Amino acid sequence: MIKAKKAGIQHLTREKGFILKREGSNQVAVLLPSVMPTGLSSQELTKMELDTRRQVLYYVEAFRRYLKGMEQCELTMIGPSIGFRETRRIKGKSMIKAEDVLNRKKCEDGVARGGWKPEIHKDTDKMATYMNVKEGSWFDIALGALQSDNIGNLYAAGRMISADETAF
């Protein structure tokens, strides 16, 4: 991708990513274009959708020109919509912190278990950084991390629970 950028191919936001080529085919699955939202207005979302779809076309061009074995690659599909790693989280009665995840903390009000290493996604031009954790165990997700601290009877799930940036 560095050569492609130097040659003037625009809109290449990443130089590294996942490229999975289907054996015996010219098809690949790619995880490359990356954007980080600053808000969630319909205008921003529309612009991000358009920008990332445009990026895909530039990546296909770069693959064909600069990646050995990809000279005949074909674009057969683009994801149906943009996906976000995170946008907003609730302020919960409790918060899952990095040290809870790294030390595989257990708690009495645990309602779910987590077992994945924290991924740090700070830079759209770089791959995620994975943090090491104690192997062979899990950490609890406390009920308080799902409960809003300031809005009665409001619960969150998934990417919106109360967690610090690293634990998330």
Within-domain flag for 156: yes
- pLDDT mean over 87-94: 90
Phi, psi for residue 5 in degrees, rounded to 5: -65, -45
58 and 110 co-located in one domain:
no
Within-domain flag for 31: yes
CB burial class (10 A; 0-12, 13-18, 19+) of residue 141?
buried
Q: 57, 75 in Cβ contact below 8 A?
A: yes
Instruction: Name the pTM for this structure.
Output: 0.63
62 and 103 co-located in one domain:
no
Within 10 Å of residue 30's Cβ, how many Cβ atoms? 17
7 and 61 co-located in one domain:
yes
Q: Domain residues for 102? A: 98-160
Model confidence band, residue 103 (pLDDT cutoffs 50, 70, 90): confident
Within-domain flag for 86: no
Beta strands in the chain, from DSSP E residues, in sequence order: 18-21, 28-31, 110-114, 119-120, 129-130, 139-142
- pLDDT mean over 86-114: 90
Model confidence band, residue 62 (pLDDT cutoffs 50, 70, 90): very high
